């Protein structure tokens, strides 16, 4: 049974650029959440997608946007990258409230 997968594993971007991160949920899971984890901190909730709609959003600017596809996979887009966007981006899929994380995408903005 495949777990949550994310791509790419690592990414280096320049300030001002745009980035797209991808996530495929665990088999049978229909909900995808995205989190940002800075070094030494706990993950911070960005937003959650369910039935192809953004169901809840955390305290992140509009530069952060997402999408969920009919097969439940999801994308996270970040525009106008800032140095402070450098972090580990985690996707979590869930069923019945328990969230399971993928391996993450390490984004470095230079």
Which positions lie near another protein, rule CB under 8 A? 31, 33, 35, 40-45, 48, 50, 55-56, 58, 88, 90, 92, 97-104
Q: Least Å distance between CB 1 and another protein?
A: 15
Q: Least Å distance between CB 13 and another protein?
A: 20
Q: What is the DSSP letter of 26?
A: P
Tell me whether residue 10 or residue 14 sits nearer to another protein (CB atom): 10
What is the C-alpha separation between 40 and 31, in angstroms, rounded? 27
Q: Which among 89, 80, 87 is positioned nearest to 14, based on CA atoms?
A: 80
């Amino acid at each position: 049974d495949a777990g949550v997968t994310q791509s790419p594993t690592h990414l280096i971007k320049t300030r001002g650029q745009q980035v797209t991160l991808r996530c495929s949920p665990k088999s049978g899971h229909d909900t995808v959440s995205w989190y940002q984890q800075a070094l030494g901190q706990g993950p911070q909730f960005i937003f959650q997608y369910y039935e192809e709609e953004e169901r809840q959003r955390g305290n992140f600017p509009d530069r952060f946007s997402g999408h969920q596809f009919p097969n439940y996979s999801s994308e996270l887009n970040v525009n106008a990258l800032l140095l402070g966007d450098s972090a580990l981006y985690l996707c979590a899929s869930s069923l019945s409230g328990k969230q399971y994380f993928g391996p993450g995408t390490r984004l470095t903005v230079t």
